[in-house]
């Protein structure tokens, strides 16, 4: 098909070039500058959608973001976009689109039978039906019938980016008022950003034909050094402190959309106004259109899609559209509800004052209207092929209202206009209610029978508003929720004011007393991907890699994420599972020597003359009494006495400590330190230096550990280096910090070097350890070893209810004189109960207990729980199961046998001490 | 709607609520559209799997249904979810309560309002409480923007603004108000058949009967009474959502809203007596009060009428903070409220 005959005066298209596109499996031609809507209209496609609820045939109502009917699915496969308005799609060559929510096509839709049921499906009918025998019986078919477009099934192939911009003045809207405001500000030397949702600047000048001034200003602004012009940019949110957010559609190879975050000293809203439909029977038929939209299609896109035109209005603005159509050669009749005295004197246009359109004739297209006097009497039918309507204008106050500004109802224009601003914002042009000469007479609903649509997107009729009134849902917020008025895909842009005004008439309230619902972002729907930006998928909280990651990978490591780090779980040999590898590695640690990458272990330096005092308040134990060069294990609590982290801390110097946290606690604990220092203990002379990622830490552990260090080459005297002390020196000719502490139960050396030297150190250790059969060890084996030793793993063997006494660590508290975080809470009634969950060992005699299995109090399920298994492994050293668990009053029940339950299976175990191996702790001191 | 709680105190109460919800529509003669599509909580690590196992076992001990799913079962239930091993948030398994689901929230409010009205309750709308007159016996006069109301007993059920009323009454609550946001996509043909929660990224999503994806995330991270909601929270929630569901990226956000929630340290409600003898508290619901409405109302009515806690909410009194008897589901096992 051809692109349709276009009028040569079209201001918005390049008629010399053709763009081919497909819609509902048929090929069409349009031109650069077309929207999908204009191209379809030019090709004579009027019926292109079915309505949301009743599947009534629908055409195009509007020409912009307010369109409620013409919803399409753009593209196919992974790049499909459901639910776009045909009026907001800029035509491109090769475009493919189809109608949504109708099958097989909008002209023949199998669900169109829903129209017959319409009398039963009024507002709120769901609430009154489908209860017997059960809602679930009806829900499936209702779900399948609901919804519009179809979500793509594959990942989005496109990218989205975010950008920040600050300016003196942000002008939203590139129509005449916006262009003038931008120019004025730019000329005053201010830094200006002008954002326009359309792909063309000009706003109303594009359809009102006043192009000269707009074109002059556009050219001047584009050339102005102070001005940045953004088209295709939808400013959709207005937040506190003049922070606004917009989404820009991009062309070409790069990202698909850009999210702009503006911070403007001043905001000018030149967002125009949206024309309102009139509410009369069958006003939703294809071929019924807003007068200004028809004028747009005629002037901007050169489409005369009707020859016999009826214009129905209650104000002067539609006369401009009428004149345009007369000039273009159409036959025009104006039906004006106002009395003759108010009618403007326009030659060549037939006007019927004091009359209304009662109903539209025709199902799939308007082919006539029934006309009558407002006050009743005879009606008659007039043939036509296009019905234009104008019920007045609603200034686009969405962003102003989002900014916190209040609105008031203006009698002269019968619209809500900006009242009082609370941020540095002003509205200009039609957005400010400058709708001079409208001379409007309110007509919210034409009396008479028939389905009179208020909200086209959600199929809400005037009768539904009446039902809401009958059911006492008269508040504007109730009206919205009960009828779904304004909750459709167009967000009520053409329906909200009509709806609330009709409710006002039914309840004897002026529209201003009914008020509007709250305006919230987004002004029009915004792509999830654009809001999320680039930090999705692999960039979502990006995994951190060990400084010697490649070395581990080369040694066969299987990686898993632990606390945000990719760490080796185990290093399986060919033919070995990772579980088998972990058993082998754990056994090696007890017999020979292993190498563990402990770099993610949290390292925070606490510096200052009050560092000891500070840490005394942080730890359950004492810090200030620690000798320089020595280390101590400590627990940290929150104010409720709950254990939140643990680790070994070292006194580096009189005024400098090195605090080790768990790897997942590194960021959290550093932030907590800062909060206490900045908010509570402002008098302390302490600075916090999180240094975790500056260091690579390799732990050598096992009976042969000191031999490996010696072989590696060190100037540290290993013969005078006891457990829980710290040395600085060189290891493998690298400047190193070495700590003797142990989480394996074996003699261990934690060697920290500059992160960039990680691979060098690990290589040197590997070479030195080769004769001793040194082996890399992963996290799983470490967990086996520490469970054998009964060493606590915070967050695994404790939860958000565990106090120090519950894990047998209340000892230091009695000896400590000074206060610390959580101390008070340890004296509360609940903390002193004797039946608290306590950490104990659980000895199974038949296989490994499942972690999460519950200890039964009286052998019944359901029934009371007496605790649960927290850690459980097969011990290669003991050749049997070892487990830890939190058990009610567990320490007083050592030796007792208990029953456990796990997802339908039963187990049994004996409550034992937490330490399964080397109870005296001789090995780690070796 | 769900009762997947760890501690017996919570489980008993929320299970009672779920059972009341299951018959509420018929009781009120108002279809609340209780859609028991199941509530799936994802596990993204082996530690998550272990926590879920503890939780699922505890639920069974509490007499509540629970099932653990492996990755394939999750993938079958939620085809749109990225269950590939290379996913940034790999799905290692999940935990489902099949009786869980969603309810049409307005219908609950309206059904109750109509039923209460029929029983003779006066519901006065657009009526702001501005103060109380206190005497030695308590507060017996409520001052409002529409006049003064005398009352023998007063119940506070004002969610995020409970602290405002407590200020008027002269006592402090261990409670902070935050904005909680949620948003919906445009309506789509069915693409998600169950409620999905990922505690790792704090995102939940379901699809309404109208076809909109309903998405929620964490709190705005500062105290506020302003019901606006900020953009960074929306961005962060969507980052999590799209990491879980990469095919949702081209869908569009249609509506957003924010409400003020009253958060206490252990995320368990405060239901019982206040420091003033004839004033009763029903607050501290935080982000999770909706699922508790029938049971909360049931127990609150008991408390007000009998001046003592209902057995189901005996552990929810304000005194638990002084005793240290917190019921902290989230801290115990990462269970969201």
Separation between Cα atoms, residue A121 and residue A154, nearest integer Å: 36
What's the pLDDT at A134?
77
What's the pLDDT at B284?
95
User: Helices (H) and strands (E) in chain A — how many of each?
Assistant: 22, 49
Probe site for chain B from A121, A126, A149, A151 (most B CB atoms < 10 A): A151
Share of chain B above pLDDT 90, in %: 83
Query: Are A158-275+392-440 and A442-517 the same fold in CATH?
Result: no
Separation between Cα atoms, residue A547 and residue A679, nearest integer Å: 35
For B248-260, letters b (16+ CB in 10 Å) and e give bbbbbbbbbebeb
Query: What's the CATH fold of domain A602-692?
Result: Alpha-Beta Plaits (3.30.70)
Indicate yes or no: CB of B189 within 8 angstroms of CB of A902: no
What's the pLDDT at A102?
84
Q: Give mean pLDDT, residues A63-86.
A: 96
Separation between Cα atoms, residue A751 and residue A596, nearest integer Å: 10
> pLDDT at residue B129 above 80?
yes
What's the pLDDT at A377?
81
DSSP state of B287: T
User: What average pLDDT does chain B have?
Assistant: 93
What's the pLDDT at B132?
97
| Closest CA–CA distance from residue B162 to any residue of chain A (Å) | 23
- Give, in words, the CATH class of A544-600+694-785: alpha beta
> pLDDT at residue B337 above 70?
no
Give Dmax (Cα) for chain A.
Answer: 115
Q: Give mean pLDDT, residues A476-480.
A: 95
A611-635 pLDDT, tens digit each: 999 999 999 999 999 999 999 999 9
Nearest to B230 among A128, A143, A239 (CB): A239
Q: Give mean pLDDT, residues A136-147.
A: 82
B233-263 pLDDT, tens digit each: 999 999 999 999 999 999 999 999 999 999 9
What's the pLDDT at A331?
95
Closest CA to A698 of A599, A601, A616, A789: A599
Nearest to A131 among B26, B52, B238 (CB): B26
What's the pLDDT at B334?
52
- A340-354, A573-587, B89-103: least confidently modelled range: A340-354
Which chain A residue has its CA at the smallest distance from B245's CA? A155
Indicate yes or no: CB of B324 within 8 angstroms of CB of A526: no
Residues of chain A positioned with their CB less than 8 A from the CB of B330: 800
Indicate yes or no: CB of A52 within 8 angstroms of CB of B328: no
Q: Count how many residues are written for chain B.
A: 337
What's the pLDDT at B255?
94
Separation between Cα atoms, residue B296 and residue A695, nearest integer Å: 52
- Give, in words, the CATH class of A277-390: alpha beta
Cβ atoms of residues B262 and B271 within 8 Å: no
Residues of chain A positioned with their CB less than 8 A from the CB of B61: 854, 856, 861-865, 901
Separation between Cα atoms, residue A410 and residue A395, nearest integer Å: 11
Q: Where are the domains positioned within chain A?
A: 19-128, 158-275+392-440, 277-390, 442-517, 544-600+694-785, 602-692, 819-925
Indicate yes or no: CB of B188 within 8 angstroms of CB of A83: yes
> pLDDT at residue B335 above 50?
no
| CA B321 to chain CA centroid, nearest Å | 21
Which chain A residue has its CA at the smallest distance from B252's CA? A527
| Closest CA–CA distance from residue A539 to any residue of chain B (Å) | 8
What's the pLDDT at A126?
78
Which of the four pLDDT bands, split at 50, 70 and 90, describes residue A112? confident
Separation between Cα atoms, residue B334 and residue B337, nearest integer Å: 9
Which long-range CB contacts under 8 A does A708-716 form with residues at least 24 apart?
Answer: A708/A593, A708/A765, A708/A768, A708/A769, A708/A772, A708/A774, A709/A738, A709/A749, A709/A751, A709/A768, A711/A768, A711/A769, A711/A771, A711/A772, A712/A764, A712/A765, A712/A767, A712/A768, A713/A764, A713/A768, A714/A738
Which of the four pLDDT bands, split at 50, 70 and 90, describes residue A1? very low
| CA B267 to chain CA centroid, nearest Å | 10
What's the pLDDT at A7?
87
Separation between Cα atoms, residue B22 and residue B30, nearest integer Å: 13
Indicate yes or no: CB of A82 within 8 angstroms of CB of B251: yes
CATH number listed for the domain at residues A819-925: 2.40.30.110
> pLDDT at residue B323 above 50?
yes
Cβ atoms of residues A261 and A240 within 8 Å: no
Nearest to A126 among B31, B61, B79 (CB): B31
Probe site for chain A from B3, B55, B242, B266 (most A CB atoms < 10 A): B242
Cβ atoms of residues B48 and B55 within 8 Å: no
> pLDDT at residue A682 above 80?
yes
What's the pLDDT at A127?
80
Which of the four pLDDT bands, split at 50, 70 and 90, describes residue A4? low
Q: The complex's ipTM?
A: 0.96
Look-up of token digits 């956000």: B253
Ramachandran angles phi, psi of A729, nearest 5°: 180, -155
Which chain A residue has its CA at the smallest distance from B33's CA? A135
What is the model's pTM? 0.95
Residues of chain A positioned with their CB less than 8 A from the CB of B96: none
Residues of chain B positioned with their CB less than 8 A from the CB of A532: 235, 238-239, 241-242, 249
Coil/strand/helix, residue A609: coil
Which chain A residue has its CA at the smallest distance from B230's CA? A239
Superfamily of domain A442-517: BFD-like [2Fe-2S]-binding domain (1.10.10.1100)
Q: Give mean pLDDT, residues A707-733.
A: 97
Which chain A residue has its CA at the smallest distance from B53's CA? A852
Nearest to A536 among B55, B189, B242 (CB): B242
End-to-end CA distance of chain B: give it in Å, rounded: 11
Indicate yes or no: CB of A135 within 8 angstroms of CB of B241: no
Q: Where are the beta strands (DSSP E) in A173-315?
A: 192-195, 227-230, 233-239, 243-249, 257-269, 273-275, 288-290, 308-313
> pLDDT at residue A210 above 90?
no
Closest CA to A53 of A112, A104, A103, A98: A112
> pLDDT at residue A276 above 90?
yes
Nearest to A533 among B191, B210, B235 (CB): B235
What is each CA distance from B141 to B31, B147, B165, B278, in whole angstroms?
37, 10, 13, 11
What's the pLDDT at A2?
45
Share of chain A above pLDDT 70, in %: 99
Which chain A residue has its CA at the smallest distance from B89's CA? A537
Nearest to B328 among A128, A538, A800 (CB): A800
Quick one: CA torsion of B88, B94, B97, B103, rounded to 10 degrees? 10
Probe site for chain A from B50, B62, B319, B324 (most A CB atoms < 10 A): B324
Which long-range CB contacts under 8 A does A754-758 form with residues at least 24 apart?
Answer: A754/A694, A754/A695, A754/A696, A755/A547, A755/A599, A755/A693, A755/A694, A755/A695, A755/A696, A756/A547, A757/A696, A758/A546, A758/A547, A758/A548, A758/A551, A758/A599, A758/A696, A758/A698
Is A158-275+392-440 a domain of CATH 2.60.40.10? no
- Give, in words, the CATH class of A19-128: alpha beta
Which of the four pLDDT bands, split at 50, 70 and 90, describes residue A924? confident
A883-911 pLDDT, tens digit each: 999 999 999 999 999 999 999 999 999 99
> pLDDT at residue A3 above 70?
no
Residues of chain A positioned with their CB less than 8 A from the CB of B57: 852-854, 868, 901-903
Indicate yes or no: CB of B187 within 8 angstroms of CB of A865: no
What's the pLDDT at A140?
83
Coil/strand/helix, residue A844: coil
CA atoms within 13 A on the CB side of A536: 31
What's the pLDDT at A516?
93
Q: Which two tokens stand for residue A309?
A: 């035109």
Indicate yes or no: CB of B31 within 8 angstroms of CB of A129: yes
What's the pLDDT at B2?
84
Q: Give mean pLDDT, residues A851-877.
A: 96
Indicate yes or no: CB of A560 within 8 angstroms of CB of B110: no
| Closest CA–CA distance from residue B174 to any residue of chain A (Å) | 13
Nearest to B57 among A139, A481, A852 (CB): A852
Nearest to A854 among B47, B57, B80 (CB): B57
| Closest CA–CA distance from residue B85 to any residue of chain A (Å) | 11
Q: Where are the beta strands (DSSP E) in A299-422?
A: 308-313, 331-336, 350-353, 355-361, 368-373, 376-383, 386-390, 393-395, 407-410, 415-418
Q: Give mean pLDDT, residues A147-166.
A: 96
Beta bridge partner(s), residue A266: A169
Q: Where are the beta strands (DSSP E) in A366-430?
A: 368-373, 376-383, 386-390, 393-395, 407-410, 415-418, 425-427
Coil/strand/helix, residue A415: strand
What's the pLDDT at A142?
82
What is each CA distance from A384 to A49, A279, A306, A315, A333, in whole angstroms?
21, 19, 8, 21, 9
Which of the four pLDDT bands, split at 50, 70 and 90, describes residue A868? very high
CA atoms within 13 A on the CB side of A59: 28
Ramachandran angles phi, psi of A200, nearest 5°: -125, 145
**Enclosing H/E stretch for A797:** none
Indicate yes or no: CB of A825 within 8 angstroms of CB of B324: yes
């Amino acid at each position: 098909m051809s692109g349709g005959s276009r009028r040569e005066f079209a201001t918005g298209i390049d008629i010399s070039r053709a763009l081919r596109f497909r819609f509902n499996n048929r090929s069409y031609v349009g031109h650069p500058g077309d929207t999908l809507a204009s191209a379809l209209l030019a090709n004579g496609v009027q019926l292109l959608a079915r309505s949301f609820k009743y599947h009534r045939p629908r055409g195009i109502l509007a020409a912009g973001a307010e369109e409620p009917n013409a919803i399409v699915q753009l593209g196919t496969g992974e790049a499909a976009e459901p639910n776009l308005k045909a009026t907001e799609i800029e035509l491109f060559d090769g475009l493919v689109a189809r109608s949504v929510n109708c099958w097989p096509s909008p002209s023949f839709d199998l669900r169109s039978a829903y129209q017959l049921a319409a009398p039963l499906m009024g507002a709120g009918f769901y609430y009154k039906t489908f209860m017997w025998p059960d809602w679930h019986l009806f829900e499936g078919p209702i779900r399948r019938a609901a919804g519009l477009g179809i979500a793509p099934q594959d990942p989005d192939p496109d990218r989205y980016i975010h950008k920040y911009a600050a300016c003196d003045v942000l002008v939203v809207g590139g129509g005449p008022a916006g262009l003038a405001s931008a120019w004025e500000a730019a000329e005053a030397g201010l830094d200006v950003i002008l954002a326009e949702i359309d792909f063309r600047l000009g706003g109303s000048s594009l359809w009102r034909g006043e192009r000269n001034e707009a074109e002059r200003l556009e050219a001047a602004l584009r050339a102005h050094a102070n001005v940045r012009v953004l088209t295709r940019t939808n400013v959709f949110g207005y937040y506190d402190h003049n922070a606004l957010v917009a989404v820009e559609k991009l062309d070409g190879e790069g990202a698909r959309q850009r999210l702009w975050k503006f911070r403007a000293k001043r905001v000018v809203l030149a967002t125009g106004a949206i024309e309102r439909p009139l509410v009369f029977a069958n006003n939703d038929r294809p071929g019924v259109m807003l007068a200004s939209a028809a004028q747009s299609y005629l002037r901007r896109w050169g489409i005369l899609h009707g020859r016999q035109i009826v214009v129905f209005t209650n104000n002067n603005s539609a006369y401009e559209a009428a004149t345009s159509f007369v000039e273009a050669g159409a036959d025009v009749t104006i039906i004006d509800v106002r009395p003759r005295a108010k009618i403007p004197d326009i030659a060549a246009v037939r006007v019927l004052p004091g009359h209304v359109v009662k109903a539209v004739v025709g199902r799939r297209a308007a082919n006539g209207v029934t006309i009558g006097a407002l006050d009743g009497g005879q009606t008659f039918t007039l043939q036509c092929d296009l019905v234009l309507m104008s019920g007045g204008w609603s200034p686009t106050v969405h962003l102003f209202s989002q900014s916190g500004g209040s609105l008031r109802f203006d009698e002269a224009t019968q619209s809500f206009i900006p009242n009082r601003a609370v941020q540095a914002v002003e509205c200009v042009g039609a957005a400010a209610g400058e709708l001079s000469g409208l001379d409007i007479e309110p007509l919210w609903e034409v009396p008479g029978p028939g389905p009179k649509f208020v909200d086209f997107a959600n199929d809400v009729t005037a009768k539904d508003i009446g039902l809401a009134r009958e059911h006492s849902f008269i508040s504007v917020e109730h009206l919205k929720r009960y009828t779904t008025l304004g909750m459709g895909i167009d967000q009520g842009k053409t329906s909200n004011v009509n709806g609330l005004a009709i409710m006002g008439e039914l309840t004897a309230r002026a529209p201003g007393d009914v008020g509007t619902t709250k305006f919230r972002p987004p002004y029009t729907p915004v792509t999830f991907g654009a809001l999320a930006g680039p930090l999705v998928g692999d960039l979502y909280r990006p995994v951190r890699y060990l400084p010697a990651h490649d070395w581990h990978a080369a040694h066969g490591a299987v990686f898993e994420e632990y606390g945000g780090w990719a760490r080796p779980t185990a290093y399986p040999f060919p033919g070995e599972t990772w579980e088998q590898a972990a058993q082998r590695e754990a056994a090696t640690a007890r017999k020979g020597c292993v190498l563990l990458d402990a770099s993610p272990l949290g390292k925070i330096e606490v510096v200052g003359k009050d560092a000891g005092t500070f840490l005394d308040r942080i730890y359950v134990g004492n810090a200030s009494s620690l000798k320089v060069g020595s280390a101590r294990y400590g627990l940290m609590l929150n104010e409720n006495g709950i254990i939140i982290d643990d680790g070994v801390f070292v006194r580096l110097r009189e005024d400098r400590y090195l605090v080790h946290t768990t790897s997942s606690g590194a960021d959290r604990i550093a932030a907590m330190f800062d909060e206490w220092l900045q908010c509570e203990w402002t008098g302390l002379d302490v600075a916090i230096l999180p240094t975790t990622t500056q260091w690579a830490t390799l732990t050598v552990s096992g009976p042969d550990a000191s031999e490996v260090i010696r072989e590696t080459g060190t100037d540290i005297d290993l013969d005078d280096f006891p457990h829980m002390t710290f040395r600085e020196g060189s290891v493998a000719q690298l400047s190193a910090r070495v700590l003797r502490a142990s989480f394996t139960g074996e003699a261990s050396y934690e060697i920290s070097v500059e992160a960039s030297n990680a691979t060098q150190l690990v290589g040197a250790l590997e070479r030195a350890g080769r004769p001793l059969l040194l082996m890399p060890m992963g996290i799983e084996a470490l967990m086996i070893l520490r469970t054998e030793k009964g060493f606590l793993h915070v967050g695994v063997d404790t939860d958000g209810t565990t106090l120090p006494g519950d894990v047998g660590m209340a000892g230091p508290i009695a000896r400590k004189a000074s206060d610390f975080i959580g101390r008070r809470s340890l004296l509360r009634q609940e903390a002193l109960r004797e039946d608290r969950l306590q950490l104990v060992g659980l000895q199974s005699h038949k296989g490994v207990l499942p972690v999460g299995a519950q200890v039964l109090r009286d052998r019944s399920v359901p029934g009371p729980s007496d605790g649960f298994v927290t850690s459980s492994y097969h011990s290669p050293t003991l050749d049997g199961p070892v487990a830890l668990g939190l058990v009610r009053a567990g320490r007083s029940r050592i030796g007792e046998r208990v029953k456990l339950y796990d997802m339908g299976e039963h187990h049994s175990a004996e409550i034992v001490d937490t330490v399964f191996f080397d109870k005296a702790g001789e090995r780690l001191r070796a | 709607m769900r009762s997947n709680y760890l501690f017996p105190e919570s489980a008993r109460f929320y299970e009672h609520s779920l059972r009341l919800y299951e018959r509420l529509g018929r009781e009120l003669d108002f279809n609340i559209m209780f859609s028991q599509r199941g509530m799936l909580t994802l596990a993204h690590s082996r530690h998550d799997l272990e926590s879920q196992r503890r939780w699922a076992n505890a639920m069974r001990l509490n007499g509540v249904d629970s099932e653990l799913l492996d990755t394939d079962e999750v993938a079958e239930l939620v085809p749109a979810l990225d269950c590939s091993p290379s996913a940034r948030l790999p799905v290692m398994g999940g935990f489902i309560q099949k009786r869980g689901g969603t309810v049409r929230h307005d219908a609950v409010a309206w059904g109750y309002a109509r039923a209460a009205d029929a029983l003779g309750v006066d519901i006065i709308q657009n009526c702001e409480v501005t103060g109380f007159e206190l005497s030695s016996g308590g507060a017996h006069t409520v001052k409002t923007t529409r006049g003064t109301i005398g009352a023998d007993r007063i119940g506070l059920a004002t969610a995020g603004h409970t602290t405002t009323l407590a200020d008027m009454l002269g006592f402090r609550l261990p409670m902070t108000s935050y904005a909680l946001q949620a948003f919906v996509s445009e309506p789509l043909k069915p693409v998600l058949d169950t409620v999905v929660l990922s505690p790792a990224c704090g995102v939940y999503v379901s699809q309404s009967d109208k076809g909109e994806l309903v998405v929620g995330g964490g709190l705005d991270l500062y105290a506020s009474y302003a019901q606006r909601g900020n953009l960074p929270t929306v961005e962060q929630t969507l980052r999590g959502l799209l990491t879980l569901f990469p095919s949702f990226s081209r869908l569009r956000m249609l509506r957003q809203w924010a409400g003020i929630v009253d958060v206490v340290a252990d995320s368990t409600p405060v239901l019982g007596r206040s420091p003033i003898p004839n004033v009763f508290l029903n607050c501290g619901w935080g982000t999770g009060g909706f699922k508790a409405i029938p049971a909360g109302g049931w127990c609150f009515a008991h408390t007000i009428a009998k001046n003592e806690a209902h057995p189901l909410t005996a552990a929810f009194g304000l005194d638990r903070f002084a005793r240290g008897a917190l019921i902290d589901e989230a801290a115990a096992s990462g269970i969201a409220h």
